[in-house]
Amino acid sequence: MSIRVDVWEGARIALFSLRSNRLRTVLTTVGIGVGVCTLLAIVGIIQGINRSFEDQLSSIGANTLQISKFPWTLNGDWWSYRNRKDLSADLVPPILNASEHVLAAAPLFFERVEGRFLDRKIGSVLLVGTTPDYATVGSFALERGRFLTHADVDNRAQVAVIGAELVRSLFPGVNPVGQRILFEGKPFRVVGTLEAKGTILGENQDLVVVVPSRTFLAHFGKKRSPNIAVALTSPEHAPAVVDKLTAVLRRERNTPPGLPDDFAINRPDQLASMYAQLTGALYGAAMGVGLITLLVGGIGIMNIMLVSVRERTREIGVRRALGARKRTIILQFLMEASCVSALGGTLGTVVGLGLARIVSLITPLAAAVEPLTVVAGVGFAAMVGLLFGIWPAARAANLDPVEALRHE
Write the pLDDT tens digit of every residue in 396-407. 777 766 666 665
Pick the more confident residue, 18 or 48: 48
- pLDDT over 70 for what percent of the chain? 80
pLDDT range class, residue 15, cuts 50, 70, 90: low
Pick the more confident residue, 401 or 146: 146
| Nearest residue to 175 via CA among 195, 192, 157, 158 | 192
Residue 319 one-letter amino acid: R
Q: Kindly tell me if the per-residue pLDDT of 7 is higher than 80.
A: no
Question: For the ranges 121-125, 208-212, 363-367, which has the lowest average pLDDT?
Answer: 363-367
pLDDT range class, residue 57, cuts 50, 70, 90: low
Which pLDDT belongs to residue 159? 97
In terms of pTM, does the model score above 0.85? no
Pick the more confident residue, 320 or 142: 142
Instruction: Give 208-223 as a 3 state SS string.
Output: EEEEEHHHHHHHHCCC
Distance of alpha carbon 20 from its chain centroid, rounded?
Answer: 45
**Strand intervals (E) in 261-307:** 264-266
| Cα–Cα distance, 224 to 222 (Å, whole number) | 6
Question: Across all residues in the chain, what is the average pLDDT?
Answer: 80
Angle between helices 371-397 and 22-60 (to 10 degrees): 150
Which pLDDT belongs to residue 331? 75
Write the pLDDT tens digit of every residue in 159-168. 999 999 999 9
User: β-strand 159-162 against 227-232: which pairing, if any?
Assistant: unpaired
Q: Kindly tell me if the per-residue pLDDT of 408 is higher than 60.
A: no
From residue 262, alpha-carbon distances to 65, 96, 259, 319 in Å are: 16, 20, 8, 83
Write the pLDDT tens digit of every residue in 383-394. 777 788 777 777
Q: Kindly tell me if the per-residue pLDDT of 335 is higher than 90.
A: no
pLDDT range class, residue 380, cuts 50, 70, 90: confident
Q: Which residues contact 151 (CB under 8 A, 6 or more apart)?
A: 157
Which pLDDT belongs to residue 17? 61
Other CB atoms within 10 Å distance of the CB of residue 47: 17
Write the pLDDT tens digit of every residue in 286-332. 677 777 777 777 787 787 777 777 777 777 777 777 777 777 777 77
**Looking at the DSSP assignment, which residues form a beta bridge with residue 111?**
127
CB 406 within 8 A of CB 315: no
CB 192 within 8 A of CB 142: yes
Chain length of the chain = 408
| Cα–Cα distance, 390 to 334 (Å, whole number) | 7
CB 160 within 8 A of CB 129: no
CB 297 within 8 A of CB 32: yes
Residue 135 buriedness (CB in 10 A; 0-12 / 13-18 / 19+): buried
Q: Kindly tell me if the per-residue pLDDT of 268 is higher than 70.
A: yes
Q: What is the mean pLDDT of residues 33-44?
A: 75
pLDDT range class, residue 1, cuts 50, 70, 90: very low
From residue 50, alpha-carbon distances to 44, 46, 99, 119, 342 in Å are: 10, 6, 34, 41, 28
Question: For the ranges 67-71, 83-87, 139-143, 373-377, which has the lowest average pLDDT?
Answer: 373-377
Instruction: State the chain's maximal CA–CA distance in angstroms.
Output: 104
Q: Is 61 left (phi over 0), alpha (psi -120 to 50) or beta?
A: left
Looking at residue 81, the DSSP 8-state letter turns out to be: H
